[in-house]
Amino acid sequence: MESFKPLALLLLFLLPITTVTGWGVDGHFTTCKIAQGRLTQAAADAVNHLLPEYAEGDLASLCSWADHVKFRYHWSSPLHYIDTPDDLCTYQYNRDCKDEDGTMGRCVAGAIKNYTTQLQDYGKQTSQYNLTEALLFLSHFIGDIHQPLHVGFTTDRGGNTINVHWFTRKAVLHHVWDDSIIETAEERFYNSDVETLIDAIQTNITKEWADQVQIWEKCSRNQITCPNIYATEGINAACNWAYKGVGNDSVLGDDYFLSRLPIVNWRLAQGGVRLAATLNGIFG
């Protein structure tokens, strides 16, 4: 009994952590790596200048920073996702972008707008904002908004309360989309190596998807970033792929994995391309 207590306590601490992350570390690493390869010289210089010294110029190494500060910056937790009305499969900024207290703009789409605006202070003599943190938040949130279940339903908290089996293991649907699909793909197809996965997505971006990529990069006229478009795509993907055919106790195996993996790769690519386009737009 004595030896059980510390373990139980440790699990109590770990459980909430596993239910609230965005894409897992590999998903965020992938979107930031893809983005960094597409920056203009001006944007690359600004990113290098804003990153802390210890990152050694590697944005991807700090792309999960926003998940690590959720407890220090408690206010930032609702900025990682959007909850939409159950089963509607639509997103509207004015209706959905609020936190549980109803404060408007406190969702991942509002956060992307906010940190984009803050970063436009770059190059000014002074700014009231911490632009290093703004860069790390923005880079993370553009990843998160592309995880379909980060624009999910309210009652199940983006699939966080849906218990499934991932092959033979117990899992939570949200976590399947944050981590499991990516990890299983890495193990089966990419030599258990995230860099090999990134290379495969980069090849798609420059070849099969090249025409699409030009469309992803553009958003509405005069807008640097278009989180409302990304969120609408997100809830559509959540309904058409993530939630589809899944309920409590569903067993998700090869059928689900192989049919959803292309969507995950596509969303990771979009996240990376749009993060680059946003940073290029901000830094000129």
Select the binding partner of residue 178 from Zn ion, ligand ADE, none (C-beta < 5 to 8 A, by kind).
Zn ion
Q: Is the distance from CB of 101 to CB of 172 less than 8 angstroms?
A: no
Q: Which residues, numbered 19-48, are part of the site for ligand ADE (CB under 6 A)?
A: 20
State how far the Cα of 194 lies from the Cα of 27, in Å rounded to an integer.
9
DSSP state string for 133-188: HHHHHHHHHHHHTTSGGGEEETTTTTTTT-EEEETTEEEEHHHIIIIIHHHHHHHH
Structural tokens at position 50? 């804003």
- Number of neighbouring beta carbons within 10 Å of residue 9: 10
Q: Which residues, numbered 54-73, are part of the site for ligand ADE (CB under 6 A)?
A: none
Considering beta carbons, is residue 39 or 182 the nearer one to ligand ADE? 182
One of 22, 78, 227, 281 touching Zn ion (CB under 5 A):
22
Minimum distance, C-beta of residue 159 to ligand ADE, in the bound complex (Å):
7
Q: Which residues, numbered 141-200, are part of the site for Zn ion (CB under 5 A)?
A: 144, 178
Select the binding partner of residue 138 from ligand ADE, Zn ion, none (C-beta < 5 to 8 A, by kind).
none
State how far the Cα of 167 lies from the Cα of 252, in Å rounded to an integer.
6
Q: Which residues, numbered 208-247, are part of the site for ligand ADE (CB under 6 A)?
A: none
Question: Strand, coil or helix: what is 16?
Answer: helix
Q: Which residues, numbered 77-116, are part of the site for ligand ADE (CB under 6 A)?
A: 80-81, 83
Total residues contacting Zn ion (rule CB under 5 A)? 5
What 8-state DSSP symbol labels residue 251? E
Minimum distance, C-beta of residue 178 to Zn ion, in the bound complex (Å):
4
Question: Which pairs count as long-range contacts for 202-206, CB under 8 Å and 24+ apart, including other chains?
Answer: 202/34, 202/37, 204/265, 204/269, 205/34, 205/269, 205/272, 205/273
Minimum distance, C-beta of residue 80 to ligand ADE, in the bound complex (Å):
6
Considering beta carbons, is residue 69 or 88 the nearer one to Zn ion? 69
State how far the Cα of 140 lies from the Cα of 206, in Å rounded to an integer.
23
Q: How far is CA 270 from each of CA 106, 137, 153, rounded to the nearest angstrom?
A: 23, 18, 22
267 contacts ligand ADE (rule: CB under 6 A): no
Select the binding partner of residue 157 from Zn ion, ligand ADE, none (C-beta < 5 to 8 A, by kind).
ligand ADE
Select the binding partner of residue 281 from Zn ion, ligand ADE, none (C-beta < 5 to 8 A, by kind).
none
Q: Is the distance from CB of 19 to CB of 162 less than 8 angstroms?
A: no
Q: Which residues, numbered 119-178, are part of the site for ligand ADE (CB under 6 A)?
A: 149-150, 152, 157-158, 160
State how far the Cα of 81 lies from the Cα of 97, in Å rounded to an integer.
9
User: Nearest to ligand ADE by Cβ — which residue?
Assistant: 158
One of 33, 38, 80, 260 touching Zn ion (CB under 5 A):
80
Select the binding partner of residue 83 from ligand ADE, Zn ion, none (C-beta < 5 to 8 A, by kind).
ligand ADE
Task: Please give the residue ranges that form the binding site for ligand ADE (CB under 6 A).
Answer: 20, 80-81, 83, 149-150, 152, 157-158, 160
Task: Please give the residue ranges that form the binding site for Zn ion (CB under 5 A).
Answer: 21-22, 80, 144, 178
